[in-house]
Amino acid sequence: MKLPSFPFYVKDWLASSRVRMMILAHRGAYLELLCHDWDTDGLLNDDDALATLSCLGDNWFNGAAQIIKPCFVNHPAKVGYLTNPRLQQIRLEYLEHREERRRSGRLGAQKRWGQEVPVE
């Protein structure tokens, strides 16, 4: 199941020396890639795809890749894909929290209704 949104920590964004050193076009491209990373749980590690997804086109190959691509690492579960480490950490925390809430709901239903709720 896709997660519809991710938290955007404004103070962290503004305080990040990596982001502060980017020109505005690179910041926008970085944010575009973060959004695609979140939506699809990773980015194909292909410069042509990243150039398109970042909306930079040929500018990706004219220096932008060296500035933006280091913000991403190899995806821990998808070979050939990149992900932002902080975004991946947030995703895992969300999924753990969701699973915890699901278990709690099942236990609550069992207690309330005295029925075994099947685990999916």
44-83 pLDDT, tens per residue? 999 999 999 999 999 999 999 999 999 999 999 999 999 9
Contacts of 88 (CB under 8 A, 6+ apart): 75, 76
pTM, full prediction: 0.81
Amino acid at 26: H
Residue 55 within a domain: yes
Q: Is the Cβ–Cβ distance between 1 and 9 less than 8 Å?
A: no
The label of the residue with tokens 């896709």 reads 2
Count of structural domains within the chain: 1
Residue 94 within a domain: yes
Query: Range of 95's domain?
Result: 10-113
Residue 1 within a domain: no
Residue 119 within a domain: no
C-alpha count within 13 angstroms, C-beta hemisphere, residue 107: 6
